[in-house]
Structure 1
């Protein structure tokens, strides 16, 4: 599991360093270690889990589509998870690593979640603070970040950051000008300073532009409002209560054999280090990326959302909060439909496929991860893969669309065409 470090006073310019587990233990700890190790070997052996109430023909087509993508080198492998009302089809495919050595995909593989971070960590944390009355979604960002109002940004709201309608550009620059010279920059504090000084590209609320900068700012707001570092707040308030034991920022080195690598950077294969370049420059913890997770943990999160904020007797969010963040929050004048953090229907919604109706919600991650939740049929679909491995050239856009369509077709006895807004 993600190792837990005792909370330290907040320093937004630094992020914690994970330490290996202690090597000394008493008899109880030793026996516990043995049982956990045995379970790990069992999980490694079990590369699929099926409780078949789905159409077996469509499940076979799902297998075929993924195997074809692997054969065409669009991804080295991955995990597919389809679940409806407790019934599930779960399977691991291909390899999680090709370089520097070949490793078959484990069912408990840990993946760089990339932008899935935006919903699992940042959006959820923001809504927890919203429930506590510490954040208002219609309030100006400048209420929470000193200096953000400079450059005419005083009217940008929290909601506009969360719906990508702030008017800010997509990503931070790789270099900044210092004394007339373009210079590389590093460090968390520098990233926040650059983000706060960004100039608007268009008036807020007038155009949808997907922007990592929006969520970099939201991550910093969480830290300022909560008084905790982002990795601590999300672990204590989200991942621990939901028993998402393998989810978090900065995974421990002890987990290295379970982590799917991404790509070569400066002669080193990234494994357990976020693939996102801004994360790599700034310590690995941000609101837009940096989380590592498993298919099983992401499934727990999806169940909580489908169950209106509650999982196994633990209430994380109020039902009305889940409804708020997963319903359309973009202006009626926009064709793009976004919730607070969640994607509903935009050019990024390829994982919905062609059958799940508008009204569901989800998100994708650059590495190849994706989640789609359909509340009408009480279904969710998870795809975990590292399509950028080993050289950054993989492409799973069409595969996501195929799998979304086939997943809906695999559900027996549900009339998607009868859902208002279906396409």
Structure 2
């Protein structure tokens, strides 16, 4: 790690950012059991901090509405090297894999999904396009109960029959199904599984050795997953995907399933800020990176104050994940912020995005000359 001064960041604001991250993991009901933050500007990592616990609770006590804490000696402290279940940050990698196919000419941005998946009759009948999947304008509902199906064949049949609930191309409707269907498109045209496409096309060239689909035994714990708050009876989860549909699909899915560290995600951010290259590796051309990260974005959310804070409104792009993960990259100032937290440990609650936005605002204030 380098210094805030070398990154052109105000060291006082950076110190405040670190204190705020630590505060998020303290108290009886912290925002997260543990967290890791990495932030920087250009090639310089100015902040790399871990706080709290990777594993704090043995289970969740429903009657007391509280986590059952492990004995002090059995807890696992958070480290800057701790992997996290990325949840929906996985979508960004699926989107990059798709845009790589656009660049190669094997995928058409405005092509109908039916051109690649004619057996998916629901999307075929309604003319859903690749662009609509990447921009969440397909009209598909947020998810399907694939976790309740008894076989892979039954899960596939649900997906093939699914029809939009609103007009494709109409308005924005965030849906896991968009990136899940895109996974099937990519696997059909490339003849390889999504995990292989992401490994060979993104993580291996960039040296992101800590990034991949699970299982990941050393990861931060997530949830004591039980009904009625969860959708499956799985107990305390660590190192296996939290998302129930990704779990039902074997852990590799276009919408969730990747594990990674904050340092690896910093490499991902720096690659995109540099126009698709990192050292000798090139995963995308600058025009295609711009296509992904400029409004309305392909896979990326653009200028969203609810989690980007003051970094929004000038072209920042990023995403969040249900387990407590997020990243923001701001081309205007060449800065990035990666925040990984296990906010669902010991159980999920309504998301509170205020800390994400506050930390992004703190980074915006730290940028000298703005």
Q: TM-score under structure 2 normalisation?
A: 0.87
Is the Cα–Cα contact under 8 Å of residues 4 and 14 in structure 2 kept in the other structure? no
Partner residue in 1 for 2:176? 212
Q: 2:138 corresponds to which residue?
A: 166
| Distance of 1:240 and 1:407 partners within structure 2 | 29
Residue in 2 that maps onto 1:97: 55
Structure 1 position 362, deviation (Å): 0.6
Contact 1:110-1:259 within 8 A present in 2 as well: yes
Q: Secondary structure at the match of 2:313?
A: coil
**Cα distance, 1:278–1:389 mapped onto 2, change above 3 Å:** same
Task: Tell me how far apart the structure 1 counterparts of residues 49 and 32 of structure 2 sit (CA, whole Å).
Answer: 15
Contact persistence 2:114–2:123 (CA under 8 A): no
Counting strand residues as a fraction of each chain, which structure ranks higher?
2
Distance, in Å, in 2 between the alignment partners of 1:297 and 1:189 is 35
Is the CA contact (8 Å cut-off) linking 2:42 and 2:273 kept in structure 1?
Answer: no
Supply the distance in 2 between the matched residues of 1:85 and 1:340 (Cα, whole angstroms): 23
Higher CA-based Rg: 1
CA deviation after TM superposition for structure 1 residue 354, in Å:
2.5
Q: 1:187 to 1:293 in 2, by over 3 A?
A: farther
1:404: which partner in 2?
360
Report Cα offsets for 1:231-272 as digits up to 9, x if no partner.
Answer: 1121112111111001011235xxx2x310101133632111
Change (3 A) 1:287 1:364: same
Gaps of 5+ in 1: 1-48, 176-183, 329-337, 416-423
CA separation in 1, counterparts of 2:185 and 2:151? 17
155-164 vs 233-242, which moves further: 233-242
State the Cα deviation string for residues 195-221 of structure 1 (Å, max 9, x = none): 221122111111100000111101111
Kindly provide the CA deviation profile for residues 60-93 of structure 1, in whole angstroms up to 9, marking residues without a partner as x.
3223322332224110111111101233211111
Q: How does 1:291-370 map to 2 (within 5 A)?
A: 291-328=258-295, 338-346=296-304, 350-370=306-326
Check 1:188–1:311 CA distance in 2 against 1; reply closer, same or farther (3 A cut): farther
1:111 corresponding residue in structure 2:
84
Picking from 368, 371, 375, the partner of 2:327 is: 371
> 2-side partners of 1:74 and 1:60: how far apart?
20
Tell me how far apart the structure 2 counterparts of residues 377 and 400 of structure 1 sit (CA, whole Å).
18
Counterpart mapping for 1:151-190 below 5 A: 153-173=125-145, 184-190=148-154
- The equivalences for 1:7-406 within 5 A come to 49-53=1-5, 54-71=9-26, 72-87=29-44, 88-100=46-58, 101-119=74-92, 121-150=93-122, 153-173=125-145, 184-251=148-215, 256=217, 258-265=218-225, 266=233, 268-328=235-295, 338-346=296-304, 350-393=306-349, 395-406=351-362
Q: Distance in 2 between matches of 1:61 and 1:324?
A: 34
**Unmatched runs of 5 consecutive residues or more in structure 2:** 59-73, 226-232
What count of residue pairs does the alignment treat as equivalent?
Answer: 342
Name the TM-score, length of structure 1 as normaliser: 0.77
